[in-house]
Structure 1
Amino acid sequence: MNKPANPTLRHSRLKLLLIMAVFAAPIIAAALLTFSGWQPIGKANGQPIFPQRNFADEHLRVQVSDGQWWAWRATEPQLTLIALAGPDCAARCIDTLTKMAAARITLNRNAPRLRLLYLGTPPVDAGQDGMKNYWALGTDTDGKLAGYRPSEPDSVAALLVESNGTALSLYSAGFDPTGLRKDLQKVIR
């Protein structure tokens, strides 16, 4: 003959099952969303690079002004912000470059985790504007980044590159430097 279950024991088991359900529900929901192909959409200001490119694996060669080759894989984790100026970089272009350098400064103690690389012909007043104090000046020797370079005069585009050489985001000509600053603060912590 079966003995009726103790109501206290049954109540305790029910509580245990409810607690397990509370912890299991988000895991099950996440698994269902992942297998269905859904990905959260962030509010980044840059456009993701598709298909993804790794500049180190592609052997993208950039020669900096001192004659050295740019190392995509830094010795310590550092992202690279590449500025690609259009033809005739003048006042508007320099203003955007200045705001990009200021975005690095606002990272405070994390500022060393971001390297600034300017590719192309430097602006005429680059020496007087102190550009060389913040930017490494270089040349894309094989022209592999020409597709990202803006064609409009006095404009600049930017690429954010991970410390392993993977291109993360493109900021097309006319981008908002404030949005770039917000993205950098999210990525570099």
Structure 2
Amino acid sequence: MNATSPERLSPRSRGRWTLIALFGLFFGAMALAGVLRFSGWQPTAHRNSGQLLQPPADLRALPPTLANGQPYAWNPEARTWRILVAPSAGCTSACVTLSQGLGKVWQLFGHNADNVEILWLGTPPAEVLGVPALRVLRDQPDLRAALPAVDDPAGTPVYVIDPNGFVIMRYAPGFDMAGLRKDLATLLKLK
């Protein structure tokens, strides 16, 4: 028999090897977590569907005006999140489809729907006006210019604005509505 076989190890030596194995397991797991963290890897469940804007666009200095001429206040105390649609002129059937999808997303928030508003920059098609929680804003060139990549040739982007008036996310034209709902549901929990 070999002198280092398990039958020949003293209890003290077995305890030492057990302790070394526990240290290796603990610090190995921490090292793996550190490597994954600093390499930028994230679990799929923690990824945003939209593009997180770094730095976020600040709209606080550009107070929007509702279509009826009344000012639209950001009112951070109300903790209202906003979905902003800034379509180009002539957006018709695609905008109707987009608005219907946004209306469904808004309804799926259930009791949290009161904490979400849909802002439409400019004059929407007549079919869009039946969407709940829709606030029509005047088309203000300075507000439009502050939105990142607003004139996308692929279509109409959608933005998420936090309660303070910062544009924090952008969704490219043709995005998945389920991803917007998932991202906003996560943000609504940040009260």
Same fold, TM-score > 0.5, yes or no: yes
CA distance in 2, matches of 1:9, 1:187: 54
1:13 Cα offset (Å): 4.1
> Which residue number in structure 2 is paired with residue 170 of structure 1?
170
Q: TM-score, normalised by structure 2?
A: 0.69
1:100 Cα offset (Å): 0.8
Query: Quick check: 1:157–1:173 contact (8 Å CA) kept in 2?
Result: yes
Query: Quick check: 1:119–1:138 contact (8 Å CA) kept in 2?
Result: yes
Alignment of 1:77-116 (within 5 A): 77-116=79-118
More helix by share: 2
Amino acid at match of 1:143: D
Instruction: Determine what percentage of the aligned residue pairs are the same residue.
Output: 19
CA distance in 2, matches of 1:182, 1:140: 29
Query: Quick check: 1:79–1:163 contact (8 Å CA) kept in 2?
Result: yes
1:136 Cα offset (Å): 1.6
1:124 Cα offset (Å): 3.2
Residue-pair matches, total: 175
Query: Quick check: 2:63–2:71 contact (8 Å CA) kept in 1?
Result: no
CA distance in 1, matches of 2:137, 2:162: 18
> Which residue number in structure 1 is paired with residue 18 of structure 2?
15
Query: Quick check: 1:160–1:169 contact (8 Å CA) kept in 2?
Result: yes
> Which residue number in structure 2 is paired with residue 38 of structure 1?
39
Deviations 1:73-117 (A, max 9, x none): 621444321111221242331221121121121122333333221
CA distance in 1, matches of 2:72, 2:26: 51
Q: TM-score, normalised by structure 1?
A: 0.70
1:152 Cα offset (Å): 6.2
Matched, 1:47 2:51: yes
CA distance in 2, matches of 1:104, 1:14: 58
Matched, 1:69 2:72: yes
Query: Quick check: 1:52–1:167 contact (8 Å CA) kept in 2?
Result: no
CA distance in 1, matches of 2:101, 2:183: 14
1:140 Cα offset (Å): 5.6
Q: Which moved more, 1:174-183 or 1:102-111?
A: 174-183
Q: Which moved more, 1:93-102 or 1:160-169?
A: 160-169
Query: Quick check: 2:57–2:166 contact (8 Å CA) kept in 1?
Result: yes
CA distance in 2, matches of 1:140, 1:16: 68
Amino acid at match of 1:46: G
CA distance in 2, matches of 1:112, 1:157: 23
Query: Quick check: 2:123–2:139 contact (8 Å CA) kept in 1?
Result: no
Structure 2 unmatched ranges of 5 or more: 1-8
> Which residue number in structure 2 is paired with residue 3 of structure 1?
none
CA distance in 2, matches of 1:130, 1:46: 26
CA distance in 1, matches of 2:167, 2:77: 18
